[in-house]
Structure 1
Amino acid sequence: MIGFLAIDIGASSGKAFVGKYGRNRLVLEEVHRFSNEPIHVADLTHWNLISLYKNVVESIKAASAMGIEIRSVGIDTWGVDFGLIDSSGSIQGDPRHYRDMFKDDSMDYAIKKAGKRWIFDRAPTQFQPFNTLYQLISLKRNNSRYLEKADALLPMPSLLTYFLTGEKLTEFTFATTTQLFDPDRNDWSEELIRFFDLPDIMTPIVDPGEIAGELLPSVAEELGIKGLKVILPASHDTASAVSSMDLSDDSMFVSAGTWCLEGVLIDKPSRNDDVIENNLANEGCYGRRYRLLKNLTGLWLVQELLKEWRRSDPNLDHYALTEMALTVRSYERKIDVESEAFRKPRSMEKAILSEAEKLGISLKNRGEIVRAAIEGIAYQTEQTRKQLQSITGRSIRNIRMVGGGIRNSLLCQLVSDYTGLPVVAGPAEGTATGNIIVQMLGLGELSDLSQAHDLIQRSFNFQEYTPKK
């Protein structure tokens, strides 16, 4: 039996799984779990890079102690965020947290200066204030000394890979989230970089499955491991999740977690005017395909409620909140989970109560508050389905859901109810599964995605939901 280590780091936590491969089956075993707690300093929010790297190392240690041959490790994370490396190879400060950009006007500045269509034609993805492009413009406008000293920009998974291998590379699926990638050139947009007078610090783009290298001698000696290959999987977590799904042309995917990433697979980016109007993204997938998707607020609302309520009731968990929501009534009108009120509220409970009051709804208890949040997510999924059908001309007949959010059975059922479509949910650890699959493809253990999806179908359980209304 051989193993492959996937380190999947989300905006609130990280998990490491070994995919044990033998007898034509893949079994995932969790070997490490850790929190991803940002650091707040002087009204700025940063990722705790040292803590993240420490947990990457702990994950490798835990995997190597399993007593099986670990062939490779791959790291995936959320999108857009990055670190800056100077000419000596040192990190310049801790990477900024994308949510800080909600109070920054650099996206509006860029659109006013260049025009929305002009930017979209060169980098056809979703306009979000936290995109890498606008983070760099913000640093430039604020005369950042870190940007002035920067020699290389490394996305978060590439940054952690660099610490392990010393290699400075950007993986394709992550590059497409930055709003600096030009699909016509299959490379960084020189026009965007030149127009906004940004430094020449972007690193070479490689395909998912690329072997970055082996552990640096110093890291290998510290860990007591030789020959471990470090692979860049589909390093954007949604791209890894999509790699785990066998999607047909009539399928819509939902990767449910802190965010809900919802879309369809396409062969090349869509530049339809409706893509801009509805603010959809063209983001990369394994095999240089694209996912036309919408990046929607997901279970962030419930996560924040749980964090808030645990201060007075430490025994609360996600299961308890879902049970509360199952037993309360539904309201006909739905809160808009995309409201700015939910981006970074001081109190998520107060924010939801306030948005509900605007609709004439008085939420009576915690169960109703949680249900309002989950129904809002499911309702938005139906709106996204309609947009995708209109833009692509496809008839969507089924939905595939993956991610930690599928453990919330109420969310899965409500998605089926509101869309009127059957839902197949699984695997729960779709991102880690996709990460491992791409590692196996990169090493030649699997020949193509079709073989990979057959392996996944044999190896995992799936839950089916049908509409109840």
Structure 2
Amino acid sequence: MSVLAFDLGASSGRALLGTLENGKLTVREVHRFANDPVHTGKHLHWDILRLYHEMKQGIIKARQQGLAFRSIAIDSWAVDYGLLDKNGELLGNPYHYRDHQTDGVMAQVFEQIPERELFGRNGIQFLQFNTIFQLYALKERQAVALQQADQLLMIPDLLRYFLTGERKSEFSNASTTQLYHPLEQDWDRELIERLGLPAHLFAPVVLPGTVVGQLRPELAAELDVPACPVIAVAEHDTGSAVAAVPAGEGPFAYLSCGTWSLMGTEVDAPVLTERARELNFTNEGGVGGTFRLLKNIMGLWIIQECKRIWEQEGQDVSFAGLAQLARQESACISFIDPDHESFFNPSHMPSAIQAYCRTTNQTVPETPGQITRCIMDSLALKYRYILGLTAELSGVEFAGLHMVGGGIQNELLCQLTAEAIGKPVWAGPVEASAIGNILVQYMALGEIQSIRDARSIVRDSFPAALYEPQEPEVWDKAYAEFVQVTGLQ
């Protein structure tokens, strides 16, 4: 029998059925749906009940197609959460991490907890949308929802609660909040108290591969399916994606490529050094008690936003079409730093890119093809920069880079990445987050014995595409220019 994985991304979600047979895994998409944030008043929210509705539709569609499953699990993006009152009712729609409520809040928190101390406690990258800053923003404006809240659940925890009625926090996602102490393996109660946040909010933490509960009987009856276990996998989607990296023995570097690009390596313990803090790396929980030493990079969000603007302006564009236009443009004419604050959530992304190039005295890209090429070249070169820092912090010189996730369908970006890093890129699988979700479900059910065995199954089931560098001298020169233009050290 199969297992059912819900993989929720920042722009879409999907239900996929994974079937393990004779050492090979097959994955079948059952349902796909949009995940559109909603502006209401001054704030940007997730439409959480719509996501729950779509999950139920995924279960119904599996039943209608005659697809039986042994268990269910969910993975999603990190940092965002819902608040429940004392009766277990949801207190409003969760805020979106791109909401502007956290503008300026990092500095306020640092007045309470110095940066060095905060990083030394949890090893998490400083990003203004981290859960710690979201909660502090609510506290400072005396938000009624926070005052009435009985419990906080991260997005997958919340949806899992809707399915089971059980309230538990999963390790990989809890670790992203900047409120979890990885060495004590629990919520950092002292930190929470010093920030004046309600200590009772935080649910007990369980590890990936824990059976948290069963599908509620009334929900199973509504959907006309048998009650089945609901499993906490690595519920941060990057944690699931890294579980599905088809690496062999020894250390490896990965890039989970989608709306965000997340690059790093897997380590046995968090790296809490001063150098890691200076470089603003993060240490997030993974499968089997491991940690992901990584860096968040803005990623394909920049292209997605350009595409949205061009469509609003009446241009007929597709991601494949933009990649083809970019392929026709000359390489490395203009660069941006994808992580510059001006690209976080501008009203008009193409104009923001042009303004950056103009301010840095570069050739200003004008057409969609030129702008897309600028973005792709810049992403590839930023990957080189971060790969070098990952090698420095981990003490490992990586032979190449494993790229996984939906972004690897952009073959031009994969080739440009190989060119930029001057090393081979192994691309695959595309549905890495869902596959990792599925593998950990099978581990919880006793069908797979270890993460090593799980990765062997991925290698046997989903052959990777190989991209190799062709023009090392050209890209070495481009990298030097990129570093100079962006001011990276």
Q: Structure 2 length as normaliser, TM-score?
A: 0.93
Which residue does 1:8 correspond to in 2? 7
Indicate conservation of the 8 Å contact 1:263/1:293, yes or no.
yes
Superposed displacement of residue 412, structure 1: 0.6
Indicate conservation of the 8 Å contact 1:81/1:156, yes or no.
yes
The 5-angstrom pairing of residues 320-335 of structure 1 reads 320-335=321-336
Worse-superposed segment, 286-295 or 248-257: 248-257
Q: Distance in 1 between matches of 2:246 and 2:456?
A: 9
Which residue does 1:418 correspond to in 2? 420
Change (3 A) 1:101 1:186: farther
Which residue does 1:128 correspond to in 2? 127
Which residue does 1:85 correspond to in 2? 84
Q: Distance in 1 between matches of 2:121 and 2:453?
A: 35
1:442 equivalenced with 2:444 (yes/no): yes
Which residue does 1:338 correspond to in 2? 339
Indicate conservation of the 8 Å contact 2:71/2:231, yes or no.
yes
Which residue does 1:60 correspond to in 2? 59
Which residue does 2:234 correspond to in 1? 234
Worse-superposed segment, 264-273 or 246-255: 246-255
Worse-superposed segment, 348-357 or 71-80: 348-357
Indicate conservation of the 8 Å contact 1:250/1:395, yes or no.
no
Which residue does 1:163 correspond to in 2? 162
Indicate conservation of the 8 Å contact 2:102/2:137, yes or no.
no
Residue identity matched to 1:345: P
Which residue does 2:244 correspond to in 1? 244
Helix, strand or coil: the match of 1:198?
Answer: coil
Which residue does 2:283 correspond to in 1? 282
Q: Distance in 2 between matches of 1:103 and 1:143?
A: 14
Indicate conservation of the 8 Å contact 1:379/1:418, yes or no.
yes
Residue identity matched to 2:51: L
- CA deviations over 1:298-341 (Å, ceiling 9, x no partner): 00011111111122446421111100000111235521111111
Structure 1 moving runs of 4+ over 3 Å? 246-250, 312-315
Residue identity matched to 1:224: D
Helix, strand or coil: the match of 1:98?
Answer: coil
Q: Distance in 2 between matches of 1:396 and 1:460?
A: 22
Superposed displacement of residue 171, structure 1: 0.5
Q: Distance in 2 between matches of 1:10 and 1:183?
A: 25
Superposed displacement of residue 461, structure 1: 2.7
Superposed displacement of residue 358, structure 1: 2.3
- CA deviations over 1:330-354 (Å, ceiling 9, x no partner): 2355211111111111111111111
Which residue does 1:43 correspond to in 2? 42
- CA deviations over 1:151-198 (Å, ceiling 9, x no partner): 110000000000000000011000110001101210000111111111
For structure 1, which runs of at least 5 residues remain unmatched after alignment? none
Q: Distance in 2 between matches of 1:249 and 1:217?
A: 45
- CA deviations over 1:397-449 (Å, ceiling 9, x no partner): 11001000000011111111111110100000001100000011011111111
Q: Distance in 1 between matches of 2:78 and 2:415?
A: 28
Superposed displacement of residue 365, structure 1: 1.5
The 5-angstrom pairing of residues 388-399 of structure 1 reads 388-399=390-401
Residue identity matched to 1:468: Q
Worse-superposed segment, 387-396 or 241-250: 241-250
Residue identity matched to 2:306: L
1:317 equivalenced with 2:324 (yes/no): no
Indicate conservation of the 8 Å contact 1:334/1:379, yes or no.
no
Helix, strand or coil: the match of 2:91?
Answer: coil
Q: Distance in 2 between matches of 1:457 and 1:114?
A: 44
Change (3 A) 1:210 1:101: farther
Residue identity matched to 1:205: V
Indicate conservation of the 8 Å contact 1:237/1:431, yes or no.
yes
Q: Distance in 2 between matches of 1:271 and 1:168?
A: 30
Superposed displacement of residue 64, structure 1: 2.3
Indicate conservation of the 8 Å contact 2:43/2:100, yes or no.
no
Residue identity matched to 1:366: P
Indicate conservation of the 8 Å contact 2:334/2:364, yes or no.
no
Helix, strand or coil: the match of 2:312?
Answer: coil
Worse-superposed segment, 396-405 or 62-71: 62-71
Return the match for 1:378 from 380, 395, 410: 380
Helix, strand or coil: the match of 1:176?
Answer: helix
Helix, strand or coil: the match of 1:274?
Answer: helix
Indicate conservation of the 8 Å contact 1:170/1:203, yes or no.
yes
Q: Structure 1 length as normaliser, TM-score?
A: 0.97
Worse-superposed segment, 327-336 or 121-130: 327-336
Q: Distance in 2 between matches of 1:91 and 1:161?
A: 13
Q: Distance in 2 between matches of 1:320 and 1:346?
A: 23
Worse-superposed segment, 416-425 or 94-103: 94-103
Q: Distance in 2 between matches of 1:68 and 1:47?
A: 30
1:144 equivalenced with 2:143 (yes/no): yes
Q: Distance in 2 between matches of 1:442 and 1:220?
A: 21
The 5-angstrom pairing of residues 175-324 of structure 1 reads 175-199=174-198, 200-247=200-247, 248-313=249-314, 315-324=316-325
Change (3 A) 1:314 1:362: closer
Indicate conservation of the 8 Å contact 1:92/1:150, yes or no.
yes
Indicate conservation of the 8 Å contact 2:163/2:219, yes or no.
yes
Change (3 A) 1:112 1:249: farther
Aligned residues: 468
Indicate conservation of the 8 Å contact 1:250/1:398, yes or no.
no
Which residue does 1:29 correspond to in 2? 28
Helix, strand or coil: the match of 1:262?
Answer: strand
Percent identical among aligned pairs is: 38
Q: Distance in 1 between matches of 2:146 and 2:216?
A: 27
Residue identity matched to 1:234: A
1:70 equivalenced with 2:72 (yes/no): no
Q: Distance in 2 between matches of 1:398 and 1:42?
A: 47
Helix, strand or coil: the match of 2:183?
Answer: coil
Change (3 A) 1:275 1:49: same
Residue identity matched to 2:74: I
- CA deviations over 1:49-84 (Å, ceiling 9, x no partner): 111110111111112223232011111110000000
